[in-house]
Each structure stands twice: as structure tokens, then as C-alpha cells.
Structure 1
Amino acid sequence: MKPKGIVLLVLSLLVMFCTVYYGAAYYDKYLASKMAGELLDTIKEEARESYPDELEMAAMKKVAISRSEDDLNNQKTFEDKRKKAADIFFGFYLINVKSRVEYCLDLGVNIAPFSSLFKKSNWNEYLIAKEARAYNSSDIEELYQLLEPQMMEVVGVDMKGIASENGLSVTESCQLFVDYAPRVVSQMHISAMNPAVYKALTYNVKNDLEILKETK
């Protein structure tokens, strides 16, 4: 793989920041799935209209990030903003440690090296988001189960876009996450992927990280 391919890979990585809102707000499988699906369709339509000449994933990413920033700015208190940022973060986190892993495993590629490095890279932010929402591990698993169909759909489009951009099969695009895991993860921290979410999530809580680590 030439260096250009890695750059294209990183640029085309999707972070679906928005759909997880409804899982956090509505612990009802049908309602959460329905509303997340509707939002995903809206993002696709807006992406096609606003960026008709761009790759679908790149356009959707721009729309999703813009929407997430607007949602954060509409929150009235710092606490509300942090909770919203936590919801966004969990979408980012779960789609990369679970959906992408499951998708590639179905194609016969185990991207566990990528998943492990990604978890380590975003661990502090995971603890902060977990504390902000008062989630335990079972809550997070339930959240994923609510939104798994939408997340798997997003990953499928994302991986096909990566494959197309790099002239590879979808299976080969999964293998990139194994072969170049450190390089990919180094550019996938939440602070780089969505600075506004990172700022809202970590504002005034960094000094509490050691306490969070002790109580995880």
C-alpha cells in the first residue's frame, strides 16, 4: 500500500456522530432504531444535496460533524453540553470498536489490533463520557444493541468507500486496519475527528481522570 492510500483511508473514515443520540434518549428498541434510521436518511439526503461531487462518506461526515456542532451549541448549560458530547462520543466509539470489527469479521478479517489500539487511544474520553451519562458496561452494550442496524449500515457504506478510494476489494480494505493500525489510530483520536465534541466532553474534568480510572 502506497502512502497516498493511507491518507485516503484516514480521510474517508466515517464518524457517525449523530445517530446515537436517540439510543441515549429513548431506551425503546423500536423508537430508537426508527428515529436513528430517519436521521441517517436525512444526513444522506443533505449530503447529496450539499456535496454532490464528493464521495458519499466524505459528504456524510461533513454533514454529521456540522449537525453535532450545532446540537452542542444549542445546549443551555455546560452539563447538558457534556452529556450531548458523551452521546456523540459513544457513537464514534462504538462504531469503531464494535460495528467495524463485526463487519470485517464477517468478511474473514479480524481487525482486533486496530480495535485494541483505538480503545487505548480514546480511553480517557471513554471514562469521561461514561461518567457524564452515569453508564455502566451493560448500559453501553444495550445502547449498541439499540442502534446496531444503523451503525452496521453506516460501516458498510464507509468500508465500500474506503475500498473504492484505494482501488481495493472491501475485504482488502478491512485488512488495511490490521496492517496499518497504528497509523490509522494515531489520526483517529476524538480531539482530531471532532474538536468541538472533545472540548465539550473534557472541559473542566481533566483533573478528575485519575478518580474516574479508579472507579471504572
Structure 2
Amino acid sequence: MTLRVLICDDHLIVRQGIKQILAEAEDLRVMGEAANGPDALRLTRAGRESGEGPDVVLLDIAMPQRDGLDVLKALKTEFPKLPVLMLSTYPDRQYAVRSLKLGAAGYLNKSADSEQMIDAIRLVARGQLFITPSVAELLAGAVGAGGRKAEDDQPLHERLSHREYQVFQLLAGGRSVGEIAEQLSLSPNTVSTYRTRVLEKTGVRNDVELALFAVRMDLLQP
């Protein structure tokens, strides 16, 4: 059986590299490429309607217009059984657990070798989770012996919702409320509300302290 793979990454050279990797496997075929979030959703929907949709979606975290985590949420809402393997250049601790909580079938750093990527695609296509040892360690830290850790034991940034974390990242990166509103297609008032929640949950007083918190926790995007 040939597995159809949709590659979603905004860098052409990365997509070309992944295509070369997948060409080494006779049972894998690239059925499409997306350079932004909306295209990833459009190609998946169109493929599903035609009966030639992806069996696995390779989805970059840092997608333009609509980021990878937003796309992941939409895909899992519309196609709950579709395996989505997240790709990232960010350290695992920034997004791995968050991605898995949103329904990702696995999280793979782009520094992984070609064999690991091929194995990961085959594994998630069979309905299994792909978890590297480093991600397994993060998951163990996020879950206590009796279940999920009590909120008081969680790192402050892990208490943020997905949207709050997006706003947190952008604020820490020096973006204004207006710029964030435009990027996330939200009203400035809504972004201000999220900003207030982020400051409260992280225990800082302003954007400067928020940026310092992000640096201290190594959470700034490259």
C-alpha cells in the first residue's frame, strides 16, 4: 500500500529536501505541498473530497498566515483520524507536549535523519504515536504518577491556552497589540484581553518582564 503524504512547510528548500527523503521509500508518495496554513487546509479538504487525500500530513509549526498549531486544531476537528506529524526547528520543550495535547500523532525535529522521518510517517499511518526519547521525557514531566500534574506544579507558561501562548510568543518577540491583532486576525481588544491573561498567568507586570521571562525559560522563537 502506498501512503500519500502532504508536505506543509513555508520554505521551498525544506519541501524539496523532504521530497528527496520520501523518494527513497517505495511505499510513500508526495500528494501535494503547502507553503502556508490556509493552503494546508485547502489541499487536505480538496484531497479528501476527491478520495485522494493525504494519509499523513507533515506540518511545520511556523507556517505563515495561520500557524501550524492552528492548522493542527482545524485538521483534527474536521478529520479526527488523520495522522498529523508536526515538524519543527524549535527545541522540543517549546512545542512538543503542546502539539500532542492538540492531537498530533507525533513531533519530529527537522534535524532528524531521513530514516527516522520515514519510520515516523509509517508509524503514525498505522495509528500509533511517534515519540522520541526527549519528547517522552517531557511528557513524563507533564504527567504525574496519578495523572496530570496539579496546576501549582506546572511551569507558568504551560498554563497558557493555545491562543494565549501565541500572543505570549509575539509579545515576547516585541510585537505590538496592533501587529498581533493583524497577524492572528483578531481585534485589538481581543488581543489586549489575551495579553492581560498572559501577564496574570505568568506573574509578570509588563511586556518587558514578559520578554525577560521568555528569555529565562528559553521560549523565544528563533
TM-score normalised over the length of structure 1: 0.30
Greater relative CO, 1 or 2 (CA 8 Å, sep 6+): 1
Flag the structure with higher strand content. Answer: 2
Flag the structure with higher helix content. Answer: 1
Higher-Rg member (1/2)? 2
